[in-house]
Amino acid sequence: MSHPRAHEESLGEIYRCAFWLVFIANLFLCAANTLTFRFAEFITFLGGSDEHTGRIVAVGLVASIFWRAFLGQAIDRFGVRNVWLFSTVVYLIGTWMLVTTDQLNWQIYAARAIFIIGISSMFATALSFVQGLAPLDRRTEIIGTYGASGFLGMICGAQLGDYLFSIYPAGGKLFQVLFGITLVLGATHGLLAIFMTGRSPHARPDVVLPMHSLVIRYWPRVAVLATTLMGLTVAISTVFLTRYATERGITGLRLFFTVYAVTAFTMRLTARNWSRVMGRHRLIVLGLASQLFAFLALLPVSQSWHLIPSGICFGFGQALLFPCIVSLCSGAFPEQYRGTGTTLTLSAIDMGTMVTAPVMGWLIDQVGYGPMLVLASLVLVTGAGMYALLTWRIIDSDMRPAVSTRLPAAAMVQEGPLTLTPEPVPLTPVAIAARVG
């Protein structure tokens, strides 16, 4: 299996040296990723529009999704270490192309695609490694705790990005420095990956199944709705928010991303065990509701401090959504296919961004940011309501230890395709007689 450490006792210690090393590595990579939130500003500098930005982002995501169709099985076959290091090299190539791009031509499309392939693969391999550090019933917890480092990285990246924009005039040198630092941070992440995976054992799956067979057999269908809606929130918060702030006369997003990251970091630590009490499906609905309030809170913004309520809501929602969705979807796959399950989950989120980003960019160019946010809010309300109706009666496997004394094993929902949980049969005299007979 790819992650033999997953069979440790649930009550054992999961926060060892390997965890803290990958925690620090993720901080560096998320700081680098936050710097690229200025990508829309870069496209504007090159003479492009918001629609251009959405199209370039979509092309990058298509390339990433196509690559991930092979990435998951590559992790399962060749191990986390080899794929992680290869992904780092791809990331460095894409980032260097961004450093040297000075025109709105084919190179910007290629650079964005290669960069996204590299960074998404690095995130996927790191996340697959982290899941192998905990037993199944604690994976939502360890994913949430690990993800907290990303919000610390977001704070650092947002502060650094605003600082660069304050000391350099708008121009080519500014973006060369910005993407140059992005390259260095990613290289540091890769060096840590070499160190922490040096002794990680790997065994290939006994049976290699094609991707479509794994999807049909194990993928939870209802999760498509959640990943699409999360992709929408990612498109707005990471692609178009900087341009929205600029249009409203707000020069920096340091305050927004700091509030966002502090809230999310705090919630990741506070809510890391909530899935055992409430279940992941209910937490996903709660997270989507928080993102809805974040959209609405952006409408009246005219000053930097007006972004605080939206930042709090975005952070709260993100803290709940990501670990629950990743744990729910990747956990539906057997251990030897965990790499495939993880990459499919991240691809599904990217697919949501890929579908919504060009549409949001077109709406912005046609009717402006306000109507776009209203329409996005309506989509989120509808989607969250549908998800709640489809999953409200499902008993999540994370809650099994808490309910096993009340419900028979047959009443537990199995990981994989959507299955509604039957009501427990009352133990009436007739029912008892039927069982005995």
* 379-397 pLDDT, tens digit each: 999 999 999 898 887 776 6
219 near 351, Cβ under 8 Å? no
Task: Give the pLDDT of residue 430.
Answer: 38
Report which DSSP code applies to 207: S
Smallest CA-to-CA distance from 34 within 174, 181, 141 is with 181
Match 């370039």 to its residue by tokens. Answer: 56
Superfamily, domain 13-199+208-394: MFS general substrate transporter like domains (1.20.1250.20)
Domain residue spans of the chain = 13-199+208-394
CA 141/CA 273 separation, integer angstroms: 6
Task: Give the pLDDT of residue 199.
Answer: 64
Q: How far is CA 135 from CA 6, 205, 212, 323, 404, in A?
A: 4, 19, 27, 15, 18
128 near 338, Cβ under 8 Å? yes
Could you tell me if residue 200 is left (phi over 0), alpha (psi between -120 and 50 degrees) or otherwise beta? beta
Which tops the pLDDT comparison, 238 or 59?
59
307 near 123, Cβ under 8 Å? no
Single-letter amino acid, residue 297: A
Task: Give the pLDDT of residue 324.
Answer: 86
Binned at pLDDT 50, 70 and 90, residue 9 comes out as very low
Structure tokens at 315: 């952070």
222 near 391, Cβ under 8 Å? yes
Which tops the pLDDT comparison, 377 or 394?
377
Binned at pLDDT 50, 70 and 90, residue 124 comes out as confident
Which ranges of 137-198 would DSSP assign to H, the alpha helix? 139-167, 172-196
Model confidence over 106-118: pLDDT tens digits? 888 999 999 999 9
Mean pLDDT (the chain) is 79
* Whole-structure pTM value: 0.68
Q: How far is CA 93 from CA 26, 109, 359, in A?
A: 19, 13, 29
Q: Is the pLDDT of residue 35 over 70?
A: yes
DSSP result, 385-432: HHHHHHHTTPPPGGGHHHHTTTS-GGGSPPSSS--PPPPPPP--HHHH
CB contact set of 241 (below 8 Å; sequence gap of 6+): 37, 253, 256, 298
Q: Is the pLDDT of residue 42 over 90?
A: no
Model confidence over 298-333: pLDDT tens digits? 998 888 888 899 999 999 998 888 888 888 887 777
CA 112/CA 53 separation, integer angstroms: 11
Task: Give the pLDDT of residue 236.
Answer: 86
Binned at pLDDT 50, 70 and 90, residue 151 comes out as confident
How many helices and strands, by DSSP H and E, does the chain display?
Answer: 18, 0
Could you tell me if residue 422 is left (phi over 0), alpha (psi between -120 and 50 degrees) or otherwise beta? beta
CA 20/CA 15 separation, integer angstroms: 7
Task: Give the pLDDT of residue 400.
Answer: 55
Task: Give the pLDDT of residue 378.
Answer: 93
Residue 327: how many CA atoms within 13 Å on its side-chain side? 32
Task: Give the pLDDT of residue 202.
Answer: 52
CA 379/CA 218 separation, integer angstroms: 27
Task: Give the pLDDT of residue 207.
Answer: 57
Smallest CA-to-CA distance from 52 within 6, 111, 104 is with 104
Q: Is the pLDDT of residue 360 over 90?
A: no
CA 407/CA 367 separation, integer angstroms: 53
Binned at pLDDT 50, 70 and 90, residue 57 comes out as confident
Model confidence over 65-89: pLDDT tens digits? 788 777 877 887 777 888 889 999 9
CA 185/CA 27 separation, integer angstroms: 9
229 near 384, Cβ under 8 Å? yes
Which tops the pLDDT comparison, 57 or 97?
97
Percent of the chain with pLDDT over 70: 84
Smallest CA-to-CA distance from 130 within 350, 338, 415 is with 338
Model confidence over 210-245: pLDDT tens digits? 667 777 787 788 888 888 899 888 888 877 887 788
